[in-house]
Amino acid sequence: MDGYSENEFFIIDEEFISLQLANLHFENFDVLQPVFEIVKSLNLDNCTFSTNNIVEGLKQFTALESIVVTPNSVATIEAFLQLEMIKELEFYIDYEIIPTNALILDFKGLKNIKKILLHCNNVESDKMIVFKGAEYLNTL
């Protein structure tokens, strides 16, 4: 994890721990193993991932309920949409990462989701975001 600029723990109360990470590159999540069982909220700001399976890496956070992420690719977005255990998911999407005219967000994998927030930057009229799989969202 060379070249990181921020790595902070914020303890809001004894039962809720939020981890904020910024400008980091993850090959895997093994370096975060000491906090796998206590982090309930994860904020990944401007982080990149080369791991082939982001989902399996994040499933190691057994208490994780909430994620805020600024994805840098469509593949990263698709991976986060497969996290069954997540109750709250917040994306900050820059339209510049959308390679075609449409980004399809399929919510089918979000089995326990209660809240989804989507923020978009650099919105272009020739690109759109399509929502799919809403019929699978039983708890939203």
Domain ranges, ordered by start, for the chain: 6-136
Q: Which of 140, 74, 82, 71 minimizes the C-alpha distance to 108?
A: 82
Which pTM does this prediction carry?
A: 0.79
Q: Which of 60, 134, 125 minimizes the C-alpha distance to 104?
A: 134
Residue ranges in the chain whose pLDDT is less than 70: 1-16, 51, 124-125, 138-140
Please tell me the distance from the alpha carbon of residue 86 to that of residue 66, in angstroms, as a whole number: 6
The pLDDT score that the predictor gives to residue 14 is: 53
Q: Which of 100, 88, 109 minimizes the C-alpha distance to 129?
A: 100
Mean pLDDT of the chain: 81
